[in-house]
């Protein structure tokens, strides 16, 4: 009777059983709250009401055409069309689409954007409000994108340079390495001939007609989908879709079919790649098979079996890499799509030494051992329990509209779209995790390693000769490993709990509540303060910080690097006699963590965990203050990696070191480490350094923010925080004064035709909290002016970044402008940049632009407060700088007080030519 009941429930979940199909053959249901449909012209739409966050709406127009849809003479055109969508339509000539949307408070790149990949082009609009006027404009813009792009020759010519600069900005040794690896993994497929960025000659010379040909061929309603998620009325949105988008015409000709397949050779393949400008030593072992979309309950079950297998493999690999740390830096397993129709099971090893044959043989023995002996029941039970706990946590999560829009976007491109609600996913996984047996997971592993299509790909820094040189050698190693008896894995059960603590309980001697912000301030019996704020923005999540003044700028310069090393090595050695791997296993159901904070002027600890086990975060905190264990292997690896970094001779590292030395003369920085210091570093030094500077300074201000109730916070504070002896140290921190070199720093050596330009700005000024908001506004104004000039008018860059800031402890405010460009245009573009700075000094800022940036800032701040981490940082900064909550909402007053005069006064100081310094890294 129980089996019949369970079967009935399963059939009900799958929305009715077909008498001819077993429950596992039934099609999976769709999210019941998603309104989906198709217009007569073929446009598919998906609408979901979700008020997390309130008043926000996220729209995604998905065109099922990317670089794979291009003809031979159109390589890069799908991406060009994406650019042209912002550069002229019937109703919005040139780049007026951006102007129209920005007038609503939206910001280009943040709220208005698009991207092109192999298979799709996606346009994104993130609305900060759900007013009818904003929605109407958004649908008007979508209609223009779908039907009315003009793609004029003059507009295309103006945009070619921007597209070329986007291509240029991607150039790097790592990109070259990635392209080489992809060419091997996807050999024989259309993918390797259709990089979305395209070919330079085609970008330079393609006609507007051929660009328009692509647009007219592929931008048709039956080849598009629209996703709308947010604080909306889905009935009204459906009406808007029918009103605004139903008029589009769909041609009678069927869509041309595209070949997305990757040829799978039923044999071993072996390849080596190298990139001299990297120090990358790795082994990538892949097994390939055709991908099958999840449609039925059986498919869903198989996907869950794969998840279990992936977790079991990675759990073992973490212990395995530690057992072989002399040879391996890391080991991991990934299961992902390669293209649209191929599944790749990938084992990747990062090597500590260039013993490729030894590492390959080691990996094969690892896999053969699992093939022969499987996994232990205890391993399986732990992983099932972890997934069950994760499943429960996901049910309780507030799923934000942005994430749901992106998930629906992914679902929309499937042949049969699948998108489950949280409750649907929870019920399915809960049931299946109880049904799946260890034997099914082991069977799936054996099926995977038996796949015929295998690739062994070795990555070297330089193309040196190796003892491994053929697929026949690899196949022989594989055969030997799988036909030799392997020792069974010794499963070490995780410890049940952290070590015991002998704590002195303290008390709360004072309590103050601030209505604004709902913040509690407690004074503890040891003299420390605890700041607490309740928030369920991230359900069941709690953050903890213990901070005090200090940091690396408060210790003698000779201890600067040793203290940084000590914090890193001790963190990576574990806590309470447990390694990081053991801690991860112990808390696998509800992950948590604690690490050392070591900044320039502050130090302490940061941790986080789920509400139900947040007490364990505080136990880790107290254990860390007592335990400064140094793992010899961790120390040895740290010294080896750091010494290797010092030997790096790539141009980016050389540029960063020289730049740091010029701007920070006679000051220790992350770039001033010396080999002799590392070579002499010992475990005794590290423990002594950490004990003296970190553990023996406990005059903390504590912060607890998250989904945890007041009574629980009080109880935990008295048990773990109030009784901690308060140790103070008188250490005077020194400010870091930035120098302004007289001459430009020029470093040559790029192997690609690109240059990285940086312009630094420095001016003396006493820090004031009120200036932070003004400096942010000034940075936004500067960045927009530079974007409009250098990108939109000159087509000389793809993107420019401008930041303006002042650290509270610094006697100077600083600015930084960065962009990449063609080497022969850098001087000209830098001159234009100087002219923009000069113009702001002379004329100030336009009132309209200032108001626009204030409006954008209001939206940004409102969105930022949706993040629990942002809230924590605001509270922390306010109390550390003012000993109160006064600075948290300072922006509300500043929004009213900001003026063009105040912005201009700051700009005149910071943009003065005497404080400017150029640095260029070029070919």
Which residues have a catalytic role annotated? Answer: 82
Instruction: From 244, 241, 179, 302, select the one nearest 47 (Cα to Cα).
Output: 241
Question: What is d(CA 368, CA 371) in angstroms, rounded to the nearest whole number?
Answer: 5
CB atoms within 10 A of CB 378: 12
Which pair of structure tokens corresponds to residue 787? 């974007």
Helix crossing, 297-323 with 438-449: angle to 10°? Answer: 80
Instruction: From 604, 595, 616, 613, select the one nearest 541 (Cα to Cα).
Output: 613
Question: What is d(CA 154, CA 797) in angstroms, rounded to the nearest whole number?
Answer: 18
Instruction: From 33, 157, 32, 37, select the one nearest 87 (Cα to Cα).
Output: 157
Label the pairing between strands 519-524 and 44-49. Answer: unpaired
Which strands, in side-by-side order, build the sheet including 519-524?
Answer: 508-514, 519-524, 529-534, 701-706, 541-549, 602-610, 593-598
Which pair of structure tokens corresponds to residue 719? 């048990």
Question: What is d(CA 237, CA 135) in angstroms, rounded to the nearest whole number?
Answer: 9
Look-up: residue for tokens 């794979």? 68
Question: What is d(CA 443, CA 445) in angstroms, rounded to the nearest whole number?
Answer: 5
Spell out the long-range contacts of 265-269 with Cβ–Cβ below 8 A and sequence spacing 24 or more: 265/453, 266/452, 266/453, 267/452, 267/453, 267/454, 267/471, 268/454, 268/455, 268/456, 268/471, 268/472, 268/474, 268/475, 268/478, 269/184, 269/454, 269/455, 269/456, 269/471
Instruction: From 337, 342, 320, select the one nearest 329 (Cα to Cα).
Output: 320
SS3 category, 148: coil
Question: What is d(CA 647, CA 662) in angstroms, rounded to the nearest whole number?
Answer: 20
Question: Is there a contact between 290 and 344 (Cβ–Cβ < 8 Å)?
Answer: no
CA torsion, points 441, 445, 451, 457, in degrees to nearest 10?
140
Question: What is d(CA 149, CA 90) in angstroms, rounded to the nearest whole number?
Answer: 6
Question: What is d(CA 112, CA 119) in angstroms, rounded to the nearest whole number?
Answer: 21
The CA radius of gyration of the chain, in Å to the nearest whole number, is 30
CA distances from 566 to 80, 458, 562, 639 (A): 50, 34, 6, 11
DSSP string, 569-604: HHHHT-BTTB-HHHHHHHTSSS--EEEEEE-SSEEE
CB atoms within 10 A of CB 523: 16
Which pair of structure tokens corresponds to residue 223? 């080849």
Question: What is d(CA 568, CA 566) in angstroms, rounded to the nearest whole number?
Answer: 6
Label the pairing between strands 541-549 and 701-706. Answer: antiparallel
Question: What is d(CA 410, CA 418) in angstroms, rounded to the nearest whole number?
Answer: 9
């Amino acid at each position: 009777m129980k089996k019949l009941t369970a079967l009935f429930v399963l059939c009900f979940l799958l929305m009715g059983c077909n008498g001819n199909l077993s429950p596992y053959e039934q099609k999976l249901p769709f999210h019941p709250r998603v309104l989906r449909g198709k217009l007569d012209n073929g446009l598919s739409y998906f609408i979901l009401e979700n008020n997390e966050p309130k008043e926000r709406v996220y729209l995604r127009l998905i065109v099922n055409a990317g670089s794979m849809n291009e003809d031979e003479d159109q390589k890069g055109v799908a991406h060009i069309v994406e650019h042209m969508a912002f550069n002229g339509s019937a109703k919005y000539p040139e780049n007026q689409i951006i102007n129209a949307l920005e007038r609503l408070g939206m910001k280009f790149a943040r709220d208005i954007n698009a991207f092109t990949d192999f298979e799709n082009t996606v346009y994104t609009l993130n609305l900060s409000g759900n007013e009818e006027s904003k929605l109407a404009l958004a649908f008007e813009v979508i209609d223009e994108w779908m039907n009315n792009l003009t793609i004029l020759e003059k507009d295309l010519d103006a945009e070619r340079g921007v597209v070329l600069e986007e291509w240029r900005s991607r150039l790097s040794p790592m990109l070259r390495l990635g392209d080489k690896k992809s060419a091997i993994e996807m050999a024989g497929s259309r993918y390797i001939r259709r990089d979305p960025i395209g070919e330079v000659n085609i970008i330079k010379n393609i006609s507007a007609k051929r660009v328009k040909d692509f647009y007219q061929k592929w931008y048709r309603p039956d080849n598009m989908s629209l996703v709308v998620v947010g604080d909306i009325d889905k009935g009204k949105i459906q009406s808007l879709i029918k009103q605004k988008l139903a008029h589009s015409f769909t041609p009678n000709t069927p869509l041309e079919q595209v070949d997305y397949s990757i040829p799978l050779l039923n044999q071993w393949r072996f390849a080596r790649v190298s990139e001299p400008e990297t120090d990358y030593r790795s082994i990538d072992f892949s097994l390939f098979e055709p991908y099958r979309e999840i449609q039925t309950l059986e498919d869903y079950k198989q996907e869950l079996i794969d998840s279990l297998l992936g977790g079991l493999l990675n759990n073992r690999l973490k212990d395995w890499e530690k057992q072989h740390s002399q040879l391996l830096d890391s080991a991991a397993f990934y299961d992902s799509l390669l293209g649209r129709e191929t599944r790749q099971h990938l084992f990747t090893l990062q090597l500590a030494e260039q013993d490729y044959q030894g590492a390959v043989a080691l990996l094969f023995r690892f896999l053969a051992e699992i093939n022969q002996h499987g996994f232990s029941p205890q391993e399986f039970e732990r992983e099932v329990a972890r997934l069950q706990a994760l499943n429960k946590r996901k049910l309780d999560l507030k799923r934000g509209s942005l994430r749901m829009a992106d998930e629906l976007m992914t679902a929309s491109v499937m042949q049969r779209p699948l998108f489950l609600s949280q409750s649907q996913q929870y019920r399915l996984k809960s049931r299946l995790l109880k049904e799946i047996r260890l034997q099914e997971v082991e069977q799936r592993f054996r099926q995977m390693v038996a796949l015929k299509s295998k690739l062994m790909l070795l990555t070297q820094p330089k193309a040196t000769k190796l003892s491994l040189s053929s697929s026949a050698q690899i196949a022989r190693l594989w055969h030997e490993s799988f036909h030799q008896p392997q020792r069974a894995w010794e499963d070490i059960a995780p410890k049940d709990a952290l070590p015991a603590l002998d704590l002195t309980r303290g008390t709360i001697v004072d309590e103050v509540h601030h209505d604004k912000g709902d913040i509690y301030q407690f004074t503890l019996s040891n003299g420390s303060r605890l700041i607490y704020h309740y928030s369920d923005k991230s359900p069941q999540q709690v953050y903890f910080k213990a901070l005090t003044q200090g940091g690396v700028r408060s210790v003698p310069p000779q201890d600067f690097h040793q203290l940084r090393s000590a914090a890193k090595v001790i963190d990576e050695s574990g806590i309470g006699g447990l390694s990081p791997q053991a801690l991860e296993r112990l808390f696998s159901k509800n992950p948590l963590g604690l690490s050392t904070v070591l900044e320039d002027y502050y130090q302490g600890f940061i941790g986080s965990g789920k509400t139900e086990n947040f007490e364990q975060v505080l136990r880790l905190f107290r254990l860390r203050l007592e335990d400064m264990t140094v793992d010899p292997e961790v120390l040895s690896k740290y010294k080896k990696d750091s010494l290797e970094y010092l030997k790096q001779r790539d141009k980016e590292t050389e540029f960063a070191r020289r730049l740091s030395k010029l701007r920070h003369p006679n000051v220790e920085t992350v770039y001033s480490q010396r080999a002799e210091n590392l070579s002499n570093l010992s475990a005794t030094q590290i423990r002594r350094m950490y004990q003296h500077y970190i553990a023996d300074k406990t005059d903390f201000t504590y912060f607890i923010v998250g989904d945890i109730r007041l009574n629980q916070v009080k109880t935990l504070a008295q048990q773990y925080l109030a009784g901690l002896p308060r140790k103070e140290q008188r250490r005077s921190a020194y400010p870091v004064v930035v120098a302004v070199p007289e001459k430009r720093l020029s470093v040559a050596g790029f192997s690609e035709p690109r240059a990285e330009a940086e312009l630094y700005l420095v001016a003396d000024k006493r820090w004031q909290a009120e200036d932070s908001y003004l400096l942010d506004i000034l940075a936004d104004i500067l960045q927009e002016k530079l974007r409009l000039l250098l990108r939109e008018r000159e087509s000389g860059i793809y993107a420019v970044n401008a930041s303006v800031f002042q650290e509270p402890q610094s006697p100077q405010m600083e600015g930084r402008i960065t962009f990449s460009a063609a080497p022969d245009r850098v001087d000209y573009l830098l001159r234009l940049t100087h002219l923009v700075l000069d113009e702001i000094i002379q004329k100030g800022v336009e009132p309209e632009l200032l108001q626009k940036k204030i409006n954008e800032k209001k939206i940004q701040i409102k969105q930022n407060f949706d993040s629990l981490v942002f809230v924590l940082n605001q509270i922390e900064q306010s109390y550390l700088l003012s000993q109160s909550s006064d600075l948290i909402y300072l922006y509300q007053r500043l929004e009213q007080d900001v003026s063009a005069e105040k912005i201009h006064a700051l700009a005149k100081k910071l943009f003065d030519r005497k404080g400017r310094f150029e640095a260029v890294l070029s070919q």
